[in-house]
Amino acid sequence: MVTAGKIAAAEDVTIEFTGLCSFVPREPVAGPLAFCVVFPNAWYTPNCGDFPRKSLDGVSALRPHRPFLCSTNQETGAQSVLPLEGKRVRIIAGTGEACRIGDVDGLASFGDITSALSSGLISVVGSVLRPHPCVVATQVVFQEGEVSASIGPHSFSFDNYLTSETPKVRKLNHIVSLMMASVSVLILEIRDLFTNELIETLTFDVAGQGAPNLRFSNLCLADPLQWAPMATKKVKDDEDFRWHYEIIDRPDLVRVALNGLPLPIPRVRPDSANGNGLNCFPKMMSTVNFDPDQWAKELP
């Protein structure tokens, strides 16, 4: 195939994730590495209680966020957005490339906020296998490509309410990248999150038209076209990190463990007083024994 004088050839594709989303790896014993990315339901949803609501610690109000898939035309710069509430997206590159974890030093993990004895407090098995509409808005699954999130420019320290260790200091990145090599055709299969009914299939002719510019986002502005780098805005504590606790299996145990203290969040260090004000950091969760081909089915 030849498009606009260009000889068709497979290209590398990078898809970005930003905002409130938790990367849940498949347990190694279950098979080759795969990920289910869980987006907490942080929007105004009927029959899900009052909104805005308080976080698990009963202290802080949670700001609304919305999940979207954003696409930018590389030639014209035009943007299109697809709301993702109540949807499950499967990314298919068809390259046979094994999924792997690259440099994720900029990605927060459960080890930053819990000790080895308390890591089970933030399990998200239910959010992956049996998602509730009031808790989970969106899932994205893939089993090809390399996941990476290199360190960001600013340092944050995590509250150590759930561990007796010295507070962890991390240079967090608000973007996680999925890079898939030598892709000819990229497919996004979009299904209903709760019925598994196929809604639509997006097909990108990478070899003929080039790699698409795609980003999965779950940020606090209702209009995703307003999302832009905030290069001069003062960087702040990531108060929205509290949303990650909304998808855990046993919130009651976390409340007991906190014993009246606030939920642990990443707080900006004194040496990061200015700069890129974006936070809403993604997070790496502990593994779940799930089958990416059979949703809502836990492997024995």
Mean pLDDT by 10 residues, the chain (300 residues): 56 94 88 93 84 79 88 75 94 91 92 72 88 94 96 88 83 94 95 92 92 90 55 74 91 86 86 58 90 64
Cα–Cα distance between 128 and 131 in angstroms, integer?
6
From the number of C-beta atoms within 10 Å of its C-beta (0-12, 13-18, 19+), residue 60 rates as: middle
Q: Which residue has the tokens 């003062």?
A: 234
From the number of C-beta atoms within 10 Å of its C-beta (0-12, 13-18, 19+), residue 129 rates as: middle
Q: How many CB atoms lie within 10 A of CB 282?
A: 27
Q: What is the pLDDT of residue 107?
A: 94
Residue type, 238: D
Q: What is the pLDDT of residue 35?
A: 95
| Paired tokens of 128 | 């992956």
Cα–Cα distance between 200 and 167 in angstroms, integer?
45
Q: Which residue has the tokens 């030639």?
A: 75
The secondary element (H helix, E strand) that includes residue 256 is helix 251-258
Closest CA to 134 of 44, 73, 213, 65: 44
Q: How much is the pTM?
A: 0.90
Q: What is the pLDDT of residue 297?
A: 56
CA angle 177/183/186 to nearest 5° reads 80
Cα–Cα distance between 60 and 50 in angstroms, integer?
14
Cα–Cα distance between 139 and 280 in angstroms, integer?
17
